[in-house]
Amino acid sequence: MPRTARDRTWQAAFARWLRPYLAALRREAQRHWAPVYLQGLLGPGERKSVAPMAARVAPDDVQQLHHFVATSPWATAPLERVLAETAQRLVGGPQAVLIIDDTALPKQGRHSVGVARQYCGALGKTANCQTLVSLTLARGEVPVPLALRLYLPQEWTADPARCRRAGVPPTVTFHPKGELAIVELDRVRAAGVRSGTVLADAGYGTSAAFRQALSARGLTWAVGVLSTQRVYPLDVRLRPARPGQMGRPSKHPAPSVPSQPGAEAITELGPRAFRRVTWRRGTKGPLAAAFAAVRVRIADGPRVARGRHLPGEPAWLVCERRAGGEQKYYLTNHPARTSLATLARVIKARWVCEQSHQQMKEELGLDHYEGRNWTGLHHHALLSLIAFAFLQHWRLTHPADGKKTARPARPATPAHAAGRAAGAARSRPRPAPPMSAVSCPTPATAA
């Protein structure tokens, strides 16, 4: 089929955009196969595993394409740095948010690296899956995912033979998801990524160590917590240690008032503390809920008698009351003079990472990889991130009306090669428009 002028424009733009990534690969063969693999991810087709993609883009070279992604020893770090620089250039800055989350890849069997029975968000239940810790940089409603790292459960790290068979590097040991996220956070910040706020759900926010690691780095953060998260009033005081009943001095100072669950602290504010806040417009009108907030001291300071914690840093405790009566709780270290509307809008900015996860799976085949080893999974995940970043670049520079813009106000979803912006933003992610219209460059053109 003859290529249209728009096809040629798209292919030329892709070739130019890809050059820094190809320069980060050391070998000529790797620089040849990377565009081929990306072509398979970006192009049409139901399955984006190696064999179906090869059938479409390199029918005589299935083994070579498989070798490139699964066993070729190219390092991910140089490409990850280019991706971080790309994300910063597209959406980074003080108005951006950096969202920490994870995404599950359902997987059968027990031999694929990291597969275990754990909560699988894609299925809404505990199931066999792999879990990838993710970082997404977003500005407005434009997400650019820039990190995916496999979480390795303890049942894996406790079995060196199993890890060895799956190609897990011997230096990899067990780390909670929050620790993995902080490692990735440090990596992307070292690459120049900057944002105004770090966001995370309660899966990360309930960890005091995670919150404290963010504060130690001088970052502003807003995270989900459980209703049982204990807090102190902002004006709590510490009484100095004093002799006990038998004349022995107590080891720790004592708070002037006991801590209480966050839900109780919000209840004490009374119903008038809740105010309706609209954070953006959805396809069916404004998205709004009732919010209340109070300044507190988090009960995550040093641990004292009977497992209690002394007061930690000051923070906002925020409660969101949804239309059905469900209440969600958050902590954020935003300054004391921050308005309730600002707190609500920042907290609700996290949804774009869920949308980008779903689009990478449905449109770019993030969860289609069928290999079992550590190297192949991380290569495939990184190439999926690079493909998504290009589509966001194309959408930002070729919007539907043909006028270039660096920061579109419309929601960010991968665009067709024709430059069509995808559907309107939604409060919950839904399938994005198909990319089957994308006509990708041939390997020779892209290289």
The predicted structure's pLDDT at residue 438:
39
Q: Categorise residue 317: left if φ over 0, alpha if ψ from -120 to 50, beta otherwise.
A: beta
Does residue 135 contact residue 385 with C-beta atoms inside 8 Å? Answer: no
The predicted structure's pLDDT at residue 307:
78
The residue ranges of every structural domain in the chain are 5-75+370-446, 221-235+254-333
Whole-angstrom distance, CA of residue 179 vs CA of residue 210: 7
The predicted structure's pLDDT at residue 281:
82
In the block, which residue shows the tokens 């063969």? 29
Name residues of the chain where pLDDT drops below 70.
1-7, 242-251, 400-447
Encode pLDDT of 4-41 as tens digits. 666 677 778 899 999 999 999 999 999 999 999 999 99
Does residue 331 contact residue 265 with C-beta atoms inside 8 Å? Answer: no
User: pTM for this structure?
Assistant: 0.87
One-letter amino acid at 247 equals G
The predicted structure's pLDDT at residue 240:
81
User: Which residues on adjacent β-strands are paired with residue 297?
Assistant: 232, 314
Q: Measured at the alpha carbon of residue 221, what is the angle toward residues 220 and 222, in degrees to the nearest 5? A: 140
The predicted structure's pLDDT at residue 283:
76
Whole-angstrom distance, CA of residue 435 vs CA of residue 53: 15
CA proximity to 147, closest of 72, 218, 82, 70: 82
The predicted structure's pLDDT at residue 431:
33
139: number of Cβ within 10 Å: 23
CA proximity to 219, closest of 321, 100, 108, 52: 100
Which residues does 34 contact at the CB level (< 8 Å), separation at least 6?
18, 21, 22, 25, 68, 383
The predicted structure's pLDDT at residue 227:
98
The predicted structure's pLDDT at residue 305:
75
User: Which residues on adjacent β-strands are paired with residue 105?
Assistant: 130
384: number of Cβ within 10 Å: 25
The predicted structure's pLDDT at residue 249:
60
Inter-helix orientation angle 62-70/374-397, to 10°: 100
The predicted structure's pLDDT at residue 306:
76
CA proximity to 321, closest of 273, 346, 289, 345: 289
Instruction: Tell how far CA 54 is from the center of its chain.
Output: 29
Q: What is the DSSP letter of 211?
A: H
The predicted structure's pLDDT at residue 96:
97
CA proximity to 137, closest of 79, 91, 197: 91
Tokens of residue 71, six digits: 């066993």
